[in-house]
Amino acid sequence: MFDRHVPVRVIMTENVLTVGPDTVMTEVVRVFKTNNVHHIPVVEKGRVLGMISASDYYKLEHHFTLFKTHRAEEMNAAIFNSLLAKEVMTTPVATVRATDTVQFAADIFKENLFHALPVVDDQKKIVGIVTPYDLVVYAYGAEYLSELHR
């Protein structure tokens, strides 16, 4: 059994990829496609304003290009070039502190439909991100997960 009192900082991902509120959605899409991330915090002056998930992006893409016609693809590109991160992001965003316990983060995941929690410092500036996957890796260990993928 793992120690539920371990601070979130032990399992969080540091060096989080973020975008600004005025970032065009085509740039957000590029971040999703070129990195192995499923959530991108929208940040201004280090503070989390909202969150964009890969599923948010996929819903937009599917909505505008359901039939995959050339014209629909053109319209989709035009819309993504005109939408800003602040227009797509989900708010409010629940956050945790690096000193909060993994049990506290797990409780938030269990009670809500969040799939990522930005980790903030005392000034509410982002210092990391934690996901249910991080909790699974912590609870079962990377060795166990690598065995599952064989």
Domain membership of residue 3 (yes or no) is no
pLDDT at residue 66, rounded to an integer: 63
Q: Is 148 exposed, middle or buried (0-12, 13-18, 19+ CB in 10 A)?
A: exposed
**92 preceded by a cis bond (ω within 30 of 0):** yes
Q: Give the pLDDT of residue 18.
A: 98
pTM above threshold 0.75: yes
Split into its structural domains, the chain has a count of 1
Decide if 102 is inside a domain.
yes
User: Does the pLDDT of residue 65 top 90, yes or no?
Assistant: no
| Residue ranges making up the domain that contains 81 | 8-148
- Whole-number pLDDT of residue 1: 55
Is residue 17 in some structural domain? yes
Query: Which residues lie across from 39 on neighbouring strands?
Result: 53
Q: What percent of the chain has pLDDT over 70?
A: 89
For residue 27, being part of any structural domain is answered with yes
In the DSSP assignment, the letter for residue 80 is H
Write the CATH number for 117: 3.10.580.10
pLDDT digits (tens, 9 = 90+) for 1-59: 578 899 999 999 999 999 999 999 999 999 999 998 999 999 999 999 999 999 888 88
Residues β-bridged to residue 44: 47
